[in-house]
Amino acid sequence: MKRVTIDDVARHAGVSIGTVSAVLNQKQTVNPKTRELVLDAIKELNYRPSGIARNIRTESTDFKSIGLLIREMDNPFYTEIARGVMEYCIQKYYIVFLASSESDHTYSEKITQSFSNQNIKGAIIAPVLEGTAEIEHLFALKKINFPFVLLENVPGIQANVVSIDNIMAMKDTIKYLIDTGHTKIIHFAGPKHAYHAYERIDGFRFAYSESPYVFSNDMIIPAGAHLEDGYQTCLDYFKDRSQNDFPTAIVCYNDLVAHGVITALTELDIQVPEEISVVGNDDILFSKYAPLKLTTIHAPMHELGRKAAEILIKNIESPTTMPVEKIVMHGELVVRETTCVKKTFDQKYEPNSKTV
């Protein structure tokens, strides 16, 4: 099937190539009615923008490439996802351009605009939430038919998503801790710009609703996503706190925060796990080989990256618009050395967990 070109869109909409280019580049010089004509033509023809075509009005260059936009360059969670993306793209002869927003919404928007303005066929995006701004930003990509896959859900937009069932994973974890005798559990929560953070809080809350204990908002302590966030939040939390008021377990937003917490607890001469158990999330490689091996929720990061790349390339290469896919993968509690049983119990707990 002949590939649809910018000339085809222009003829279908009854406008010039320059007008189509102006619409694709989101210039405000185009009459709103004309803009809608062009956008309708793009959708009807399933045209995929070519950045080089928009800039020099030729579509002879056709190397295959995608963009991968992560949120934190120093987070091994995204490193493993990138490995999965790269593995699949190498098999399909696609080049991967990697960028990090560093959790800055404005910068994230500029990067994705840059992707869509270059000869990049589509993108895998870890979104940075900022009210309705992220939705508007992603809607702009959908309007020009630029294929993308999100690495977490963004409420309000129908888009391809490959994510992890954070709610169920957190519920399993809290249930495990409660069933093993932990009576006071707190959560060091993630950043506000990550939807994963809200899902994990929901999982924490839902687990309590199914237990004999009562949830309260003071169990959720804002922390962040980095090692230093866990370290400083832990020092602040235990400052001037009496031992009678200590939690029995701290469940962290991710492994980086958990390792920061363990460092701080060690400095405070609080024993892990004898006095306080610590649980991470993601199961980054270091967690298995740390001096104190971390109990954590294993996330299938590599598989997540591969699946996101598979869906993206399938959409890029399809001659017709494909239905939206939402893939949810399951986390698994991995019990290691940073948690301990607080009591003997008769009924065996059988969560979706394993001991490594």
Q: What is the 3-state secondary structure (H, E, C) of 285-318?
A: HHHHHCCCCCEEEECCHHHHHHHHHHHHHHHHHC
Residue 46 belongs to a domain: yes
Residue 1 belongs to a domain: no
Same-domain status, 69 and 179: no
> What's the confidence (pLDDT) of residue 1?
54
Same-domain status, 175 and 250: yes
- Is residue 351's pLDDT more than 80? no
Backbone angles phi, psi at 286, to 5 degrees: -60, -30
Three-state DSSP class for residue 232: helix
**Residue 350 CB neighbour total at 10 angstroms:** 8
Residue 339 belongs to a domain: yes
Same-domain status, 11 and 101: no
Band (pLDDT 50/70/90 cuts) for residue 343 is low
Same-domain status, 149 and 174: no
Same-domain status, 346 and 243: yes
Band (pLDDT 50/70/90 cuts) for residue 48 is confident
Pairwise CA distance, residues 137 & 42, whole Å = 18
Same-domain status, 283 and 312: no
Same-domain status, 154 and 170: no
Q: Tokens standing for 204?
A: 């924490």
> What's the confidence (pLDDT) of residue 346?
35
Domain hosting 249: range is 166-300+332-355
Task: Provide, rounded to the nearest whole percent, the portion of the chain with pLDDT above 90.
Answer: 68
Average pLDDT, the chain: 89
Pairwise CA distance, residues 339 & 337, whole Å = 6
Question: What is the total residue count of the chain?
Answer: 356
Same-domain status, 82 and 12: no
Mean pLDDT of 100-119: 88
Residue 204 belongs to a domain: yes
Pairwise CA distance, residues 207 & 203, whole Å = 6
Pairwise CA distance, residues 320 & 318, whole Å = 5
**The whole model's pTM is what?**
0.81
- 229-285 pLDDT, tens digit each: 999 999 999 999 999 999 999 999 999 999 999 999 999 999 999 999 999 999 999
- Is residue 344's pLDDT more than 50? no
Same-domain status, 127 and 264: no
> What's the confidence (pLDDT) of residue 35?
87
- 183-226 pLDDT, tens digit each: 999 999 999 999 999 999 999 999 999 999 999 999 999 999 99
Pairwise CA distance, residues 108 & 241, whole Å = 39
Same-domain status, 14 and 89: no
